[in-house]
Structure 1
Amino acid sequence: LSLADVYLVMLAAWHPEIGKVAAAWPDIERLWARLRDHDLIRKLNAAHAMW
């Protein structure tokens, strides 16, 4: 994982129809899953509710 991965997920999270992102972009959903499983990213997300 890289900072670019985190940034890409952040941009996708701003999509106005976030519920459609996973179906439209399965690679983004796979990346989200990897980030959700990452200890530091999980802690950051809990504090900042990024997604």
Structure 2
Amino acid sequence: MAHHIGDFQTSSTWAAICNEPCYRVSQLFPDHFIPAAMLPQSPGVAPK
């Protein structure tokens, strides 16, 4: 995910961009895919 590139906003946007197709594919093919999500992470930002 390249957590070291950009700031929290960059990580948050990238996570949203990656999570959307994962969700869409899991809805199109529910018998073959289980949705998973990427959480945004950025140096200096607490995980909570």
**Shorter-chain TM-score tier:** 0.3 to 0.5
Query: Relative contact order, CA 8 A, sep 6+: which one is greater?
Result: 2
* Higher-Rg member (1/2): 2
Q: Which protein has the bigger helix share?
A: 1
TM norm structure 2 = 0.33
